[in-house]
Amino acid sequence: MLRRIPVVVALSSFALFAQQDTAVPKAVPAQATSPASPAPSAPTARAAAATPIPISKPTDIPTDGSGPKITFSQCHVDGQYIALTFDDGPHATNTPRLLEMLKQRGIKGTFYCVGQCVAEYPEIAKRIVDEGHEIASHSWSHPQLSSMSEASVRDQLEKTHQAIKQATGVEPKTFRPPYGAFTLRQRKWANAVYGYKTILWDVDTLDWKHRNPAKTESIGLAETKAGSIILTHDIHKTTIDAMPTLMDGLLAKGFKFVTVSELVAMDKPAPVKVKATVANKAGEPKPASGSVKKAE
C-alpha cells in the first residue's frame, strides 16, 4: 500500500518539470487533436479516449539513470507470466461484461481508468478492485500530457488518484500516460510523488483502430510472449467480443495472467547476450567457422 507523499514534497518535486525533456515513446504524430471531437454534451474523457493517437511501438526503457527502473513496456520474468491491460474505462456496459469473462476464467487484469469515468461509474471501479484486479491511473481526461503545463499535469494525476482512492479504497500504484506520451522528467516526478511506475506496452492489439475482434485476437495471440504487457481498451464492444477467444488462446499457450504490479515485481535485469565459444578441449581444434553464439 502506498503512502502519499506530503503536498510540500509534491510541490517541490514539481520543479522536476522545469526542463524540457524527450517524450517516451519518442514519436507522437502531429495530429494530437482528436479528429472526432466529442459532442459538447458527451463526457470528454470517453470521447477523447475513443480516438487514441497512434504512436510508434515503444521500446523498452532500460533504466532511468542509476536508480530503480520506473518505466516498463514489458518485463523479463521467469515463467509464462503476462499482463492483460484495459484502458480508458470504466464503461457502463462493456466493463461489467468483461469482468464476467475474467471471473469465469479466474484471470486477473489491470484497468487503466480515466478519472472522469471513475467519477461517473464509481461502482464499476469498486467492482474491479473487489474482484481482484488492479486499478490504475490513465489521467483525468485523457490529454497528451507531455505537452501540458506542470500545473495541468499535476491536476490530471491528482484528481484521478483521489477519484480512484475514493471509489475503491485503494491507491493506484502504476500510471499509463495517454498515447504513451510522458517525458522522462514527468515520469520521475510521478514516481517521486505518487510512487507510480509508468507502464507502456509491448503488444498493441490496435483494437481501438480496427474495431475487429478477429484482428484483436490474432495480434494478441501472435505477439504475446513471456513478460508481455498487452494493450486493449474496454470501452469498445468489439474488444470485449474478442476477449473469450484471446484469453482462452493465451491460456492454451500456457500463459499465466497476473496484474501489472505483480508482473513488475517479478521483473529481473534484461538477459545479456553473450558469446560463448565451444569448449576447447585439449587437442581439439576450434570450430572452423567462428564461435558459436548462444543467447542466455
Is 241 a binder of Ni ion (CB under 5 A)?
no
Least distance in angstroms from the C-beta of 48 to Ni ion: 8
CA pair distance 149, 174, nearest whole angstrom: 21
Active-site entry in 91, 133, 138, 233: 233
Q: Cβ distance 89 to 113 under 8 Å?
A: yes
Is 171 a binder of Ni ion (CB under 5 A)?
no
CA pair distance 35, 90, nearest whole angstrom: 23
Is 88 a binder of Ni ion (CB under 5 A)?
yes
142 is a catalytic site residue: no
Least distance in angstroms from the C-beta of 88 to Ni ion: 4
87 is a catalytic site residue: yes
CA pair distance 185, 188, nearest whole angstrom: 5
By beta carbon distance, the residue nearest Ni ion is 87
Q: Which stretch binds Ni ion (CB under 5 A): 4-12, 18-26, 48-56, 284-292?
A: 48-56
Q: Which stretch binds Ni ion (CB under 5 A): 157-165, 178-186, 250-258, 264-272?
A: 178-186
Element holding 111 (H helix, E strand): strand 110-113
Q: Which residues contact 93 (CB under 8 A, 6 or more apart)?
A: none
Is 87 a binder of Ni ion (CB under 5 A)?
yes
Which residue number, 175 or 255, has a Cβ lying nearer to Ni ion? Answer: 175
CA pair distance 192, 131, nearest whole angstrom: 29
Q: Which candidate, 49, 152, 170, 159, places its Cα nearest to that of 115? A: 159
Rg of the chain (C-alpha set): 21
Is 207 a binder of Ni ion (CB under 5 A)?
no
Q: Which candidate, 72, 17, 101, places its Cα nearest to that of 196? A: 72
Size of the site for Ni ion (CB under 5 A): 4
Least distance in angstroms from the C-beta of 292 to Ni ion: 45
Least distance in angstroms from the C-beta of 275 to Ni ion: 42
Q: Would you name the residues annotated as active-site residues?
A: 87, 233
What does the binding site for Ni ion look like in residue numbers (CB under 5 A)? 49, 87-88, 178
